[in-house]
């Protein structure tokens, strides 16, 4: 290739798009159904919905199919789609106390009212390959489902539980002013750029749509001493369905459906407030909530909600700017990959400087070998 010709560009990208589509289809295996991804890759779909910031399981599944399983691209696709949709309402505040719980545990106490409900989890299984999974058929799946249904009875369990933090509150163990956070402004980060220091609503919104791996990295860092605060105890982790309501233009409350969410309330001793020298380390909540079933995300969100309330820009997890900027998946995916764009203009300037320096060094070497005392470089350093 001689030079970059403008005409060639359009053909090139069209060909590249076709080629990647060919990569997707050339195996000539049976086309994956969106429903298969939706039902059998539920956790991946939930991750994409959370990071795409759009509760739309069908769309998330399709995005995964279209992007050949590239999760960053799928979340990106969902986010971009979201940006095209018209905004009608803000929902009423969702009550997770009224959640129809499917899983609910607390690490803070051995037994809690209502009990520890393990729900659907692989936490206590061993990560060993199961050959049966490779041999599944529609029939074996149906058999399993029928047997399970017959053993457990009809319908979905609809349990509601009180919150563990209410127990702690009743004991007077929670920080007194936990509920009158002076910073209660609710902003919409999709309408306005976030400015720092950001109010808690902006922080939690950002974390709710952040890339799970990034949050995991930062959350982990708080557990290994690279930040103040963070590491706490899981007061309660729950996953289940919540009801969404909006207020229509006539002022009437309308039920529009249910979502699955995961919620975590981390408890840890609150840092002493600047206002008074309090020596009692009351408990404060680090809160996490996201779409779908994603426990890692909400646990790390909870830890970061705590650590970000002890600002210190020297530690990533204590720095709002560090945490929020660098856990935003769509932006970081875009920018890191943008390095693939042509940068030859800036690169050329760099080469130019390099060649200049090489030439100067060469001249110095030549003069030195001829025996001339060198005032140039040393003189430059001395000043």
| Binding site residues, another protein, CB under 8 A | 109-114, 118, 123-129, 131, 134, 162, 167, 171, 224-226, 279, 281, 373-374, 378, 381-382
Helix (H) or strand (E) holding 325: helix 320-327
Closer by beta carbon to another protein, 199 or else 269: 269
Give the residue from 322, 329, 328 showing the smallest Cα distance to 197.
322
Closer by beta carbon to another protein, 60 or else 108: 108
Q: Shortest Cβ distance from residue 288 to another protein (Å)?
A: 18
Closer by beta carbon to another protein, 6 or else 375: 375
Please return the burial class of 217, using the count of CB atoms within 10 Å of its CB with bins 0-12, 13-18 and 19+.
middle
Closer by beta carbon to another protein, 101 or else 208: 101
Question: Cβ neighbours of residue 309 under 8 Å, at least 6 residues apart?
Answer: 229, 271, 284
Closer by beta carbon to another protein, 38 or else 297: 297
Q: Shortest Cβ distance from residue 300 to another protein (Å)?
A: 13
Q: Shortest Cβ distance from residue 375 to another protein (Å)?
A: 9
Angle at which helices 212-223 and 320-327 cross, to 10°? 150
Q: Shortest Cβ distance from residue 339 to another protein (Å)?
A: 30
**Residue located via tokens 């997890």:** 317
Give the residue from 92, 235, 241, 94 showing the smallest Cα distance to 159.
241
Q: Shortest Cβ distance from residue 256 to another protein (Å)?
A: 34
Q: Shortest Cβ distance from residue 41 to another protein (Å)?
A: 20
Helix (H) or strand (E) holding 358: helix 344-369
Q: Shortest Cβ distance from residue 320 to another protein (Å)?
A: 20
User: Both tokens of residue 46?
Assistant: 């939930």
Closer by beta carbon to another protein, 54 or else 112: 112
Q: Give the DSSP per-residue string, 33-97.
A: PHHHHHHHTHHHHHHHHHHHT---HHHHHHHHHHTTT-HHHHHHHHHHHHHHSPP--PPPPP-GG
Closer by beta carbon to another protein, 155 or else 373: 373
């Amino acid at each position: 290739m001689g030079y970059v010709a403008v005409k060639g560009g359009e053909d090139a990208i069209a060909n590249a798009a076709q080629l990647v589509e060919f990569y997707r289809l050339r195996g000539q295996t049976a086309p994956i159904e969106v429903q298969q991804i939706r039902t059998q890759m539920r956790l991946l779909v939930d991750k994409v919905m959370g990071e795409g910031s759009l509760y739309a399981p069908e769309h998330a599944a399709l995005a995964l199919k279209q992007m050949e399983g590239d999760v960053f691209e799928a979340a990106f696709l969902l986010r971009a789609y979201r940006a095209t949709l018209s905004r009608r309402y803000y929902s009423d505040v969702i009550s997770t106390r009224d959640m129809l719980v499917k899983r609910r545990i607390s690490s803070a106490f051995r037994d809690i009212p209502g009990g520890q409900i393990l729900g659907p989890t692989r936490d206590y299984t061993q990560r060993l390959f199961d050959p049966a999974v490779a041999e599944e058929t529609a029939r074996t799946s149906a058999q399993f489902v029928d047997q399970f249904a017959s053993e457990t009875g009809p319908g979905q369990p609809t349990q509601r539980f009180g919150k563990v933090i209410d127990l702690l509150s009743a004991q007077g163990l929670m920080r007194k002013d936990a509920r009158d956070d002076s910073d209660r402004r609710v902003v919409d980060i999709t309408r306005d750029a976030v400015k720092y220091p950001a109010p808690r609503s902006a922080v939690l919104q950002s974390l709710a749509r952040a890339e799970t791996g990034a949050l995991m990295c930062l959350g982990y860092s708080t557990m290994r001493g690279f930040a103040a605060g963070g590491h706490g105890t899981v007061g309660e982790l729950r996953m289940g369905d919540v009801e969404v309501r909006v207020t229509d233009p006539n002022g009437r409350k309308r039920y529009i459906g249910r979502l699955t969410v995961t919620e975590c309330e981390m408890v840890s001793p609150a840092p002493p407030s600047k206002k008074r020298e309090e020596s009692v380390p009351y408990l404060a909540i680090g809160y996490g909530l996201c779409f779908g079933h994603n426990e890692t995300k909400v646990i790390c969100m909870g830890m970061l909600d705590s650590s970000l309330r002890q600002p210190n820009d020297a530690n990533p997890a204590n720095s709002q700017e560090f945490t929020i900027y660098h856990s935003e998946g769509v932006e970081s995916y875009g920018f890191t990959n943008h390095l693939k764009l042509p940068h030859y203009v800036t690169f050329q300037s760099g080469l130019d400087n390099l060649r200049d320096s090489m030439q100067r060094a060469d001249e110095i070497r030549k003069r030195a070998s001829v025996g001339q005392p060198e005032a140039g470089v040393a003189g430059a350093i001395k000043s």
